């Protein structure tokens, strides 16, 4: 299955970048839908509607989409195994993008009868991705910590897809399933499981590379992975208190190990994108501390909403945006190299001011959404969604800028060097 | 990362030294300070790196990578060598003439960025590949060749 095609570990530029581009577009759509339904946000307790649609545009459309693009390009470098079936990478994108659009639109329009087709396309795409990931991990050499996180994330992906399909079946066919238990398991497996473990694993390889720092000690990373897996498994089974305790310990240990590694970096300036990464770590720890308070019955009103804000846009989205701001120009510079024109400077592909504007708007949006969840005031939700939408547009402009710069670099005459 | 191969460790140590030196150059120039001694030191270190480190990789390592089916890494790194060599030779010549020349600043900042990016790629792809590719005997031979160069 999935034989032939590529021997190179560097995919053609169009492959990872179509995933990043789709993620940028879905981010605009997610914030736009949230702005449209800002009143419903402060009352959201689950169930179909525009907030549910926006949430899944964010989780499936931005987070998982970016994870797919990033792992398909970066994992082969870490595992020293090329992706051998480029056609499958293309096919899964063509299934996944319309699948998410159909699923989120049907959910936003309270049409469970139409969600099934989108959900099936998404599940099929995730299956193809799972097979690609499985094959890559199976032949992996080197970077054992990244590979171990990959296996753990793959396990979570399988369980996540199964719980997701069961939830859709309940909506569409009225199956008698324990909705709350399934929904909670789905949430834990998606956020802390699949996405969280990929973020932890790739962090141990990517962040040291970007900062030119040593990777955290492998034993420490493996210990954190074991604790994370224990917390995720217990949490998925509904035991919130021990899961939150273990998860909180694992998250703090992860952040401490990463900060220790970064302190030994050889390249002093980290860049503004690391501000987003550090803000995301703060949100991760805060989300687990809040889960602990919720399990102890000490949480404030609307704690579930605040937990969701800290977890999805706070931890996962902020982390991904911080990392994408660095790896998109880095990968573009690698792809744009060739012939007499040489490799363009990464700084020439990085619009620093635009990224600063994006970072500021994103953090403003996050702060306002947290304020909305704490106070229950829709005005904060509206302002937060508006700032998030503006930030998402700025991020899309950054992505378009990089593509344009790569194209003009290709068109430059050979005697004209790339300049910052 | 901890390397088991002697040649990987040697190259890694040189990368560390390159990053430390060019980090100082970048910080000095970004602060608009003028330090002719630092520029001369950077030019001398770069001349040594272009002559020894780059040549060794091109002659001894990249062909081995290509033979092992990892030619894409060697091609990318070779191409970057070409770009760095062109800018580096110009930098060395300008510093040799007069370290206070105005065009040195932009060129040095470009070199600092290119060298950091190049080291990142070698640390991420070349050195881990060598760990897989080389046996102990070949590692010893390469280490001796490099020490004698």
What is the pLDDT at residue A291?
96
Distance from A298 to chain B by nearest Cα, in Å? 44
Contact A212 B128 (CB under 8 A): no
Which of A52-66, A69-83, A193-207 comes out lowest in average pLDDT?
A: A69-83
DSSP 8-state secondary structure symbol assigned to residue A310: I
Mean pLDDT, residues A143-152: 90
Distance from A338 to chain B by nearest Cα, in Å? 7
Residue A158 in this model has a pLDDT that exceeds 60:
yes
Contact B109 A420 (CB under 8 A): yes
Residue A412 in this model has a pLDDT that exceeds 60:
no
Q: Which two tokens stand for residue A167?
A: 């939830």
The rounded Cα A405 to chain-centroid distance in angstroms is 25
pLDDT-derived band at A398 (thresholds 50, 70, 90) equals: very high
pLDDT-derived band at A148 (thresholds 50, 70, 90) equals: very high
Q: Which residue of chain B comes nearest to A419, CA vs CA?
A: B110
Residue B95 in this model has a pLDDT that exceeds 80:
yes
What is the pLDDT at residue A27?
98
Residue B134 in this model has a pLDDT that exceeds 50:
yes
Contact B79 A346 (CB under 8 A): no
What is the pLDDT at residue A339?
57
pLDDT-derived band at B132 (thresholds 50, 70, 90) equals: confident
pLDDT-derived band at B128 (thresholds 50, 70, 90) equals: confident
- Residue bearing the bigger pLDDT, B141 or A46: B141
Contact A215 B121 (CB under 8 A): no
Residues of A in contact with B72 (CB under 8 A): 8-10
Share of chain A above pLDDT 90, in %: 64
What is the pLDDT at residue A340?
57
Q: How far apart are CA B31 and CA B25, in angstroms?
A: 10
Which of A82-91, A331-340, B17-26 comes out lowest in average pLDDT?
A: A331-340
Q: How far apart are CA A275 and CA A267, in angstroms?
A: 16
Share of chain A above pLDDT 70, in %: 93
Q: How far apart are CA B74 and CA B63, in angstroms?
A: 8
Mean pLDDT, residues B30-50: 91
Q: How far apart are CA A267 and CA A271, in angstroms?
A: 10
What is the pLDDT at residue A3?
40
Q: Which residue of chain B comes nearest to A333, CA vs CA?
A: B117
Residues of A in contact with B131 (CB under 8 A): 142
Contact A142 B128 (CB under 8 A): yes
ipTM associated with this complex: 0.78
What is the pLDDT at residue A7?
45
Q: CB-based contact (8 Å) between A181 and chain B?
A: no
Q: What is the per-residue pLDDT across A325-334, written as a single tens digit (0 to 9) for each?
A: 999 998 898 8
Mean pLDDT, residues A200-216: 86
Distance from A125 to chain B by nearest Cα, in Å? 29
Contact A346 B113 (CB under 8 A): yes
- ∠ CA A135-A141-A142, rounded to 5°: 135
Question: Mind spelling out the 3-state secondary structure of chain B?
Answer: CCCCCHHHHHHHHHHHHHHHHHHHHHHHHHCCCCCHHHHHHHHHHHHHHHHHHHHHHHHHHHHHHHHCCCHHHHHHHHHHHHHHHHHHHHHHHHHHHCCCCCHHHHHHHHHHHHHHHHHHHHHHHHHHHHHHHCCHHHHHHHHHHHHHC
Residue A419 in this model has a pLDDT that exceeds 70:
no
Distance from A190 to chain B by nearest Cα, in Å? 29
Residues of A in contact with B66 (CB under 8 A): none
For A:20-79, CB contacts with B below 8 A are 77
Mean pLDDT, residues B53-61: 93
What is the pLDDT at residue B4?
81
pLDDT-derived band at B129 (thresholds 50, 70, 90) equals: confident
Which of A219-223, A268-272, A302-306, A356-360 comes out lowest in average pLDDT?
A: A268-272
Of B16, B110, B121, the CB nearest to A266: B16
What is the pLDDT at residue A416?
45
Of A77, A330, A342, the CB nearest to B125: A77
Q: How far apart are CA A385 and CA A387, in angstroms?
A: 5
What is the pLDDT at residue A191?
95
- ∠ CA A196-A315-A325, rounded to 5°: 95
Distance from A22 to chain B by nearest Cα, in Å? 27
Residue B19 in this model has a pLDDT that exceeds 80:
yes
What is the pLDDT at residue A415?
41
Mean pLDDT, residues A394-417: 78
pLDDT-derived band at A6 (thresholds 50, 70, 90) equals: very low
pLDDT-derived band at A411 (thresholds 50, 70, 90) equals: low
- Residue bearing the bigger pLDDT, A81 or A62: A62
Contact B79 A143 (CB under 8 A): no
Per the CB < 8 A criterion, the answer to whether A302 and A362 are in contact is no
Residues of A in contact with B73 (CB under 8 A): 9
Number of CB pairs < 8 Å for A and B?
A: 67
Contact A345 B110 (CB under 8 A): yes
Distance from B109 to chain A by nearest Cα, in Å? 9
Q: How far apart are CA A153 and CA A134, in angstroms?
A: 11
Residue A1 in this model has a pLDDT that exceeds 60:
no
CA atoms within 13 A on the CB side of A415: 0
Q: Which residue of chain B comes nearest to A77, CA vs CA?
A: B125
3-class SS of residue A413: coil
Residue A173 in this model has a pLDDT that exceeds 80:
no
For A:258-297, CB contacts with B below 8 A are 266-268
CB atoms under 10 Å from CB of A8, counted, come to: 17
Q: How far apart are CA A349 and CA A399, in angstroms?
A: 10
Mean pLDDT, residues A134-146: 85
Contact B128 A80 (CB under 8 A): yes
Residues of B in contact with A266 (CB under 8 A): 16, 19-20, 23
Read off the pTM.
0.88
Residue A20 in this model has a pLDDT that exceeds 80:
yes
What is the pLDDT at residue A410?
63
Q: Which residue of chain A comes nearest to B111, CA vs CA?
A: A345
Which of A77-86, A179-188, A252-261 comes out lowest in average pLDDT?
A: A77-86
Residue A417 in this model has a pLDDT that exceeds 50:
no
């Amino acid at each position: 299955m999935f034989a032939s095609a590529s021997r190179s570990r560097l995919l053609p530029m169009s492959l990872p970048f179509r995933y990043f581009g789709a993620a940028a577009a879905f981010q605009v759509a997610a914030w736009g839908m949230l702005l449209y339904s800002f009143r419903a946000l402060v009352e959201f307790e689950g169930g179909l509607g525009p907030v549910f649609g926006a949430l899944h545009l964010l989780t499936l459309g931005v987070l998982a989409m970016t994870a797919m693009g990033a792992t398909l390009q970066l994992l082969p470098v870490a595992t020293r195994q090329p992706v051998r079936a480029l056609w499958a990478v293309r096919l899964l994108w063509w299934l996944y993008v319309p699948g998410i659009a159909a699923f989120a639109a049907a959910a936003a329009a309270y049409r469970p009868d139409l969600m099934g087709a989108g959900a099936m396309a998404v599940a099929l795409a995730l299956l193809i991705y799972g097979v690609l990931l499985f094959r890559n991990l199976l032949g992996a050499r080197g970077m054992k910590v990244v590979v171990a996180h990959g296996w753990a994330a793959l396990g979570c992906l399988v369980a996540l897809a199964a719980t997701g399909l069961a939830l859709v079946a309940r909506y569409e066919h009225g199956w008698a399933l324990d909705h709350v238990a399934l929904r909670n398991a789905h949430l834990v497996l998606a956020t802390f499981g699949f996405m969280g473990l990929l973020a932890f694993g790739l962090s141990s390889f990517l962040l040291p590379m970007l900062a030119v720092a040593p990777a955290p000690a492998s034993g420490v990373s493996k210990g954190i992975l074991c604790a994370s897996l224990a917390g995720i498994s217990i949490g998925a089974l509904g035991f919130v208190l021990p899961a939150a305790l273990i998860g909180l310990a694992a998250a703090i240990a992860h952040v401490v190990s990463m900060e220790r590694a970064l302190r030994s970096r050889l390249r002093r300036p980290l860049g503004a994108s690391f501000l987003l990464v550090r803000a995301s770590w703060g949100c991760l720890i805060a989300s687990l501390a809040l889960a602990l308070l919720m399990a102890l019955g000490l949480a404030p009103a609307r704690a579930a909403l605040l937990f969701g804000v800290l977890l999805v846009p706070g931890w996962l989205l902020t982390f991904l945006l911080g990392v994408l701001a660095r790896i998109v120009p880095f990968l573009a510079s690698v792809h744009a190299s060739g012939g007499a024109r040489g490799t363009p400077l990464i700084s020439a592909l990085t619009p620093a001011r635009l990224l600063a504007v994006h970072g500021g708007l994103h953090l403003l949006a996050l702060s306002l959404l947290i304020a909305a969840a704490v106070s229950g005031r829709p005005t904060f939700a509206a302002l937060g969604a508006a700032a998030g939408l503006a930030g998402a547009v700025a991020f899309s402009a950054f992505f378009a800028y990089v593509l344009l710069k790569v194209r003009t670099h290709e068109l430059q005459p050979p005697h004209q060097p790339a300049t910052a | 990362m901890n390397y088991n191969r002697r040649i990987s460790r040697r190259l890694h140590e040189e990368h560390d030294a390159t990053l430390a030196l060019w980090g100082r150059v970048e910080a000095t120039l970004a602060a608009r300070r003028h330090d002719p001694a630092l520029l001369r030191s950077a030019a001398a270190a770069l001349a040594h790196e272009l002559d020894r480190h780059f040549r060794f990789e091109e002659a001894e390592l990249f062909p081995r990578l290509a033979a092992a089916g990892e030619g894409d890494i060697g091609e990318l790194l070779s191409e970057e060598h070409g770009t760095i060599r062109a800018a580096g030779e110009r930098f060395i010549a300008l510093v040799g003439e007069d370290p206070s020349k105005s065009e040195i600043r932009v060129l040095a900042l470009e070199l600092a960025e290119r060298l950091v990016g190049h080291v990142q790629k070698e640390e991420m792809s070349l050195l881990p590949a060598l760990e897989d590719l080389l046996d102990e005997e070949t590692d010893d031979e390469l280490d001796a060749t490099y020490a004698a160069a």
